[in-house]
Amino acid sequence: MITKRLGHPHLGLGLGLRTVHFDYILENQPNVDWFEVISENFMDSQGRPRYVLERIAERYPVVMHGVSLSIGSADPLNFEYLDKLKGLARDIKPLWISDHVCWTGVAGRNTHDLLPMPLTELSLKHVVERIRTVQDFLERPLVLENPSTYVGFTGSTLSEWEFIARMAEEVNCGLLLDVNNVYVSSVNHDFDPEEFIRSVPHERVVQFHLAGHTNRQTHLIDTHDNHVIDPVWKLYGLAHRLTGGVSTLLEWDARIPPFPVLHAEVLKAKQHMGEELADTRMAAANGEQATAAMGVSEGDLAVPHPLHHIAAEVL
Amino acid sequence: MNAHRVPPEEVSRVQRWFQAVITHPDGVQAGADSDAAKRLMHLPPGQLEKVITRSRALSAAERVAIYANAYHTRLLECLGEVYPMLKRTLGEEAFDGFAFGYLQEYPSRSYTLNELGRHFPRYLQETRPSPGPDESDSALADSAGEEPAFAQDWPDFFIDLARLEWAIYEVFDGPGVEGKPLLVAGQLLCISPHRWAQARLHPASCLQLLSARFPVNDYYTAMRRAKDDKPVPIPSLCESFVALTRRDYIVRRYNLSRIEFELLHAIKEGQTIGEAVERAAMTGNAEVEQLAADLKLWFRNWTAEGFFQSVEMRQ
């Protein structure tokens, strides 16, 4: 018998913490349920990013989300990285630590992309062994996310949902179900996104991700630069019903709108939980107005999962 | 801890091959045809579909190209954020040309993007055209095309500007003195004149000094003030000296004279004030009386700006 969500709390509706919103959050203390932070942006910081994170972690529940664990890589695990990850967790006390089912580089290099795993038995065994090592080191279960992918390997013998489900069962880790990634990958790989959502072990889902993407007609790119589209909301509604509801987070990483627009976007999730709350509709409506004012549109630069690089503040 | 298990050969081979293909500077086909890729998987030309599946809408090569394009786009964008003024000065196309070459020579080997730009000034120095008619072998010369677009000493200006921007970047997120006591002028005034020369000042951990062949700090300021990103004329060759520090998490820049630079440099190296003044006086050819007056002013200003953390008196 598995404890639902690995025993983690349902944090409500949260947002990815981004540099452009630092001042707004510190000044306004918006009524957001929780924040997710990119671990790598803070683990080495001795300046303002770390200072801001500590202030935010005092006030809000925080979750650490990484992009460089490279759990599927053929390279040795980077224990210097893991040590810093653990140190950051010790300091800011996140509810959980997540990363992606992917590899980011090999032969000592880092592409800073979330690259797809060949979905084979050997590949699964490799990932499982590494997750065990990382979980032992961090002394906590990992929460792992399904990335958006754009290629499949002819040698793959498992579906992505089989791979993830077996992985999670074998290592007793949590899952971060990125509903937008399921949708993006379903278009790119011609599968039924509902089958994916129905097939993952729902009791292991600790968190959902929501985001916008770019439609290139022949494929979708996970750009995190726009509103969540209706088919993704529909999948979210399904995932919500199947899991009974878990912490939900909106990612918006390119052409980032003002904070209230983001907040309004994630609050729309309530409409897909069967709770038609008036205040949600109001917030969503305000968000639409703000979006129209800033002229958010389809992206020219379609870069998958844009990275969150922190620019220096200089006088 | 040696927790690394040998990865399945299949995982290692596929990952190394995929990385070789998507990071190749000449694109996916050239990547697949490269020796590095062929050593891992020998595919006849145009046979990517033996490894990568096609989708209903895209061929294997088109799908792999999504990763290849993203790799370069993402990292060029990141370098542009670390070197914003250099990018504006060179223009996007020329900057991206240098950055592209840089990524081939210095691909990321770190878990953090914060390290990505570290060697860029060095790369520009290494590829700087040698003065003279034959400039064909360098990245700086190549970018200028057949008709050199830059004056002959401008490469040094670009290198100096890159060094300043990297220093700013390091000071922004490196160790700082926020929340720590700083030396105040009153503490210096308490030192009796006959012991002054033996005093040793401990500089703030964020204090960095930079010497340049061009007045890059003034140029940087002019660029920041330029409305609508209007171009700023590249200054003439004229050595300059800059101190960088951080207060309240914001990077502060100060122009220095050569003698101030030498003095601070000696203090940073751990010399006593007496030794530092002696060294600076030798380089600056200063009149003794003028130097005595200047010293008073400089130390007052520097302590006011938080250049020092403490003073140590040797018994």
- Mind listing the pLDDT tens digit for each residue in B214-261? 999 999 999 999 988 889 999 999 999 999 999 999 999 999 999 999
Considering only alpha carbons, which residue of chain A is nearest residue B80? A311
Chain B residues closer than 8 Å to A213 by CB: none
Q: Which residues contact B94 (CB under 8 A, 6 or more apart)?
A: B143, B149
Q: Which amino acid is at A97?
A: I
Is the pLDDT confidence value at B149 over 60?
Answer: no
Chain B residues closer than 8 Å to A54 by CB: none
Q: Which residues contact B236 (CB under 8 A, 6 or more apart)?
A: B214
Chain A residues closer than 8 Å to B7 by CB: 73-74, 126
Quote the pLDDT of residue B139.
52
| pTM, 2 dp | 0.90
Three-state secondary structure call for residue A51? helix
Query: Any chain A CB within 8 A of the CB of B55?
Result: yes
**Residues of B (113-172) whose Cβ lies below 8 Å from A:** 113-114, 116, 168-169, 171-172
CB of B240 closer than 8 Å to CB of B211: yes
**Residues of B (12-31) whose Cβ lies below 8 Å from A:** 12, 14-16, 18-19, 22-23
Chain A residues closer than 8 Å to B14 by CB: 118, 153, 155
Is the pLDDT confidence value at B49 over 80?
Answer: yes
Q: Do B109 and A120 touch (CB under 8 A)?
A: no
Chain A residues closer than 8 Å to B52 by CB: 151-154
pLDDT > 90: percent of chain B: 75
Considering only alpha carbons, which residue of chain A is nearest residue B117? A309
Which residues share a beta bridge with A209?
Answer: A178, A249
Name the band, by pLDDT with cuts 50, 70 and 90, for residue A72: very high
Considering only alpha carbons, which residue of chain B is nearest residue A129? B5
Q: Which of A42, A86, A106 to mutate to test the interface with B (most CBs of B within 10 A)?
A: A106
State the average pLDDT over residues B253-282. 94
Please identify which residue in the block is written with the tokens 């949590």.
A174
CB of A275 closer than 8 Å to CB of A245: no
Quote the pLDDT of residue B3.
52
d(CA B220, CA B230): 13
**Higher pLDDT residue, B289 or A135?**
A135
Among B119, B124, B80, residue whose Cα is nearest residue A311: B80
CB of A71 closer than 8 Å to CB of A144: yes
d(CA A59, CA A31): 10
Select from A46, A103, A108 the Cβ nearest to the Cβ of B15.
A103
How far B152 CA sits from the closest chain A CA (Å)? Answer: 30
Q: Do B67 and A152 touch (CB under 8 A)?
A: no
Q: Which amino acid is at A65?
A: H
State how beta strands A97-100 and A62-65 pair.
Answer: parallel
CA atoms within 13 A on the CB side of B142: 13
Quote the pLDDT of residue B136.
45
d(CA A222, CA A213): 5
Select from B67, B84, B224 the Cβ nearest to the Cβ of A115.
B67
Chain A residues closer than 8 Å to B164 by CB: none
Q: Do A113 and B60 touch (CB under 8 A)?
A: no
Write the Ramachandran bin of A295: left for phi over 0, alpha for psi from -120 to 50, otherwise beta. Answer: left
Name the strand (E) or helix (H) holding A177: strand A174-178
Q: Which two tokens stand for residue A65?
A: 């989300």
How far B161 CA sits from the closest chain A CA (Å)? Answer: 15
Q: Do A74 and B11 touch (CB under 8 A)?
A: yes
pLDDT > 70: percent of chain A: 89
Name the band, by pLDDT with cuts 50, 70 and 90, for residue B194: confident
Name the band, by pLDDT with cuts 50, 70 and 90, for residue B129: confident
How far B307 CA sits from the closest chain A CA (Å)? Answer: 16
Among B234, B231, B92, B66, residue whose Cα is nearest residue B150: B234
d(CA B238, CA A10): 61
State how beta strands B240-247 and B250-256 pair.
Answer: antiparallel
d(CA B43, CA A179): 36
Name the band, by pLDDT with cuts 50, 70 and 90, for residue A280: very low
Name the band, by pLDDT with cuts 50, 70 and 90, for residue A306: low
Query: Across chain A, how many H-helices and E-strands are there?
Result: 10, 10
**Residues of B (31-50) whose Cβ lies below 8 Å from A:** 49-50
Q: Which of B2, B4, B11 to mutate to test the interface with A (most CBs of A within 10 A)?
A: B11
Is the pLDDT confidence value at B164 over 80?
Answer: yes
Quote the pLDDT of residue A305.
66
**DSSP single-letter state for residue A138:** H
Select from A45, A221, A315 the Cβ nearest to the Cβ of B173.
A45
Correct CATH for A4-294 of 3.10.20.90, 3.20.20.150, 3.40.50.2300, 2.30.110.10 = 3.20.20.150
Domains and CATH numbers, chain B: 10-159 (no CATH), 176-313 (3.90.930)
Q: Which two tokens stand for residue B96?
A: 């991206």
CB of B260 closer than 8 Å to CB of B236: no
Quote the pLDDT of residue A309.
66
pLDDT > 70: percent of chain B: 91
Among B154, B85, B161, B76, residue whose Cα is nearest residue B117: B76
Select from B55, B67, B111 the Cβ nearest to the Cβ of A189.
B55
d(CA A26, CA A22): 6
Is the pLDDT confidence value at A26 over 60?
Answer: yes
Q: Which residues contact B228 (CB under 8 A, 6 or more apart)?
A: none
Q: Do B53 and A313 touch (CB under 8 A)?
A: no
How many residue pairs bridge chain A and chain B with CB atoms within 8 Å of each other? 179
Quote the pLDDT of residue B184.
92
Quote the pLDDT of residue A300.
52
Mean pLDDT of chain B: 90
Query: Any chain A CB within 8 A of the CB of B6?
Result: no
Is the pLDDT confidence value at B309 over 70?
Answer: yes
**DSSP single-letter state for residue B110:** S
Q: What angle do CA A142, A146, A147 make, to 5 degrees?
A: 120
Q: Do B19 and A125 touch (CB under 8 A)?
A: no
Which burial class, exposed, middle or buried, applies to A136 when counting CB atoms under 10 A from its CB (0-12, 13-18, 19+)?
A: exposed
How far A173 CA sits from the closest chain B CA (Å)? Answer: 19
**Residues of B (171-230) whose Cβ lies below 8 Å from A:** 171-176, 178, 224
CB of B46 closer than 8 Å to CB of B4: no
Quote the pLDDT of residue B100.
98
Mean pLDDT of chain A: 91
ipTM: 0.90
Quote the pLDDT of residue B13.
96
Among B138, B129, B267, B152, residue whose Cα is nearest residue B199: B267
Q: Which of B22, B53, B112 to mutate to test the interface with A (most CBs of A within 10 A)?
A: B112
Considering only alpha carbons, which residue of chain B is nearest residue A39? B112
Three-state secondary structure call for residue A64? strand
